[in-house]
């Protein structure tokens, strides 16, 4: 560790994923963002629930971080984070229909997932953003309500990062999936799961002591109706979870090439306050 060279970076946080059980790290979150120099950066692993309160940054904040190039993760955007030195600089505003945030994200928009796949093939791009052409459906799919014994063993490990004061990570018993198409003649449509911490958190908050009918109504209003009918601009932030099959590291990652990491939106003026 000590011989690694750290760099200081300023990062606009676009996505924090809901934590995943991890063999080495108990549980990990993946953070993606855009640096003030205008390129994508992924921070992984991040032990987000174990960070000091003063270091627990929010999405859409500018943060100052110390990072070095990840050695275990061959994706070009991936960096290792020094979790002891995170400075929350400021939270961005939503004024003027998300102007500040749009000005950071829009220069990095790609046309389509097909376009991102081309970039992946040519220079191993593994993070990007698109504006979907049409979102046709939001699915709430049942999954196992319990961690598997293997996942539970990972979450119960003792060690350097033991979450002594942090409750056991809650299993989200659903997958949330958008069906959509891109603005590209090659597009045959996509169906992708959302991994945002915020979506999981909405589920946890709204489902407590509520029937499925009750929470689903509120949940669909936010993530289905508003996203598909009200917000006039949606960005999906996408991550390559696998490398080309001929790459020696390809088995480290999942099957799907891109997964939706974020559905962000800004509001059509005067429709929603
Ligand atoms: Zn497409």
Domain ranges of the chain: 8-91, 113-268
Q: How many CB atoms lie under 10 A from the CB of residue 174? A: 19
ω before 45 within 30° of 0 (cis)? yes
Tokens of 80: 């290792």
Tell me if the pTM is above 0.85.
yes
CA of 117 to the centre of ligand 1 (A): 10
How many angstroms separate the CA atoms of 237 and 15, rounded? 8
CA of 82 to the centre of ligand 1 (A): 36
CA of 112 to the centre of ligand 1 (A): 6
CA of 111 to the centre of ligand 1 (A): 9
CA of 115 to the centre of ligand 1 (A): 8
Report helix, strand or coil for 265: strand
CA of 113 to the centre of ligand 1 (A): 5
The angle formed by the CA atoms of residues 103, 104 and 107, to the nearest 5 degrees, is 80
CA of 165 to the centre of ligand 1 (A): 43
CA of 232: how far to CAs of 97, 103, 198, 225, 237, in Å? 10, 16, 20, 12, 16
Per-residue pLDDT of the chain (273 residues; tens, 9 = 90+): 445 789 999 999 998 889 989 998 889 998 999 999 999 999 999 999 989 889 999 999 999 999 999 777 778 899 999 999 999 999 998 888 788 888 999 999 999 988 888 888 888 888 888 888 999 999 999 999 999 999 999 998 876 555 567 888 999 999 998 888 999 999 988 888 888 888 899 999 999 999 999 999 999 998 998 888 887 778 888 887 644 444 433 322 233 445 555 555 444 443 433
Ramachandran region of residue 59, left (φ > 0), alpha (ψ -120 to 50) or beta?
beta
Class of domain 8-91: mainly beta
């Amino acid at each position: 560790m000590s011989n690694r060279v750290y760099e200081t970076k300023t990062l606009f946080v676009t996505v924090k994923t809901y934590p995943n059980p991890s063999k080495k790290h108990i549980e990990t979150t993946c953070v993606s963002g855009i640096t003030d120099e205008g390129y994508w950066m992924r921070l992984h692993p991040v032990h987000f629930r174990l960070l000091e309160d003063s270091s627990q940054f929010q999405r859409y904040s500018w943060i100052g971080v110390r990072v070095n190039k990840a050695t275990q993760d061959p994706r070009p955007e991936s960096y290792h984070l020094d979790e002891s030195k995170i400075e929350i600089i400021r939270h961005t505003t939503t004024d003027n229909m998300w102007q500040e945030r749009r000005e950071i994200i829009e220069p990095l928009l790609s046309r389509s997932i097909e376009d991102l796949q081309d970039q992946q093939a040519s220079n191993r791009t593994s993070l990007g953003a698109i504006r979907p052409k049409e979102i046709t459906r939001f699915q709430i799919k049942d999954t196992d309500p319990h961690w598997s014994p293997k996942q539970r063993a990972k979450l119960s490990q003792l060690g350097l990062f033991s979450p002594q004061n942090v409750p056991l990570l809650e299993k989200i018993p659903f997958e949330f999936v958008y069906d959509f198409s891109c603005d590209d003649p090659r597009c045959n449509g996509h169906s992708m799961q959302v991994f945002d911490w915020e979506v999981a958190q909405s589920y946890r908050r709204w489902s407590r002591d509520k029937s499925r009918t009750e929470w689903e109504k509120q949940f669909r209003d936010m993530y289905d109706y508003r996203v598909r009918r009200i917000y006039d601009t949606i960005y999906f932030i996408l991550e390559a979870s696998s490398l080309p099959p001929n790459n020696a590291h390809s088995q480290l990652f999942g099957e799907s090439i891109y997964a939706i990491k974020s559905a962000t939106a800004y509001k059509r003026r005067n429709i929603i306050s």
